[in-house]
Structure 1
């Protein structure tokens, strides 16, 4: 199933560690089926983040094919991956670019994490570019079925012991 990711730019008053309040604009990423759902979901998520008023400044479709979070990483990077395939009719190489959003602490770690994310790829690929993304956080859609499946797998493995 294909996922559509939306970048949501939100402006709000953020309280810093010093206690100072400052007007901030941040970009968040979430998956949704429509702009309307994206607006509703970012409103819900921002309600959890801040008690201050906020304004949704922009919502746009992001061009990420996949999103890969990694533990112990705090920044998001946009990785350009060039997939290489042979066109059987013409016999020439065909290159297709895709973009992954990958977590890492620096560019080197983001490159390593992109390589990990591409491990199961059957064809050839290269990683021509990695840049830090302005995305602050990612809110994937969960239906609750994931938790039920996880509990089922835990119960199933306990029963087999």
Structure 2
């Protein structure tokens, strides 16, 4: 899977999303301008020791991203979508894009991809859900539809006797 952040603004969100990407073997695509430096301590703090393990790429703009990835299938998470994120079929090589925290994906991009727009249902008076939570919600649905391919599905309890 692939997560795309279009002009992300808050380093903590990007750091947390990077950590989720490492945990799910998902590539992170960052489209400039970024609202922070990738060297900022906030990114590294949120991403913990996972950040050096992150597979990511940075692009100059949306057109650069589309060109370098051969015009991929991009699902666009937006509050303006007509479809719910659980109502579409994700393929293992799809891309899921999220816009900047303060304004979302620009409408000029959305109108060209209306059939690929998805939304997370929420109470009508709510503007949006935090970016890193939104990314995790949609990503895990896409992974679930692909049977969590390549991910560990079981854990193990250690037989510890507590006194």
Q: Which TM-score bucket, shorter chain as reference?
A: under 0.3
| TM-score (norm: length of structure 2) | 0.25
Q: Greater CA radius of gyration, 1 or 2?
A: 1
| TM-score (norm: length of structure 1) | 0.25
Instruction: Compare the two structures and name the one with the higher strand fraction.
Output: 1
Which of the pair has the greater relative contact order for Cα pairs under 8 Å at 6+ separation? Answer: 2
Instruction: Compare the two structures and name the one with the higher helix fraction.
Output: 2
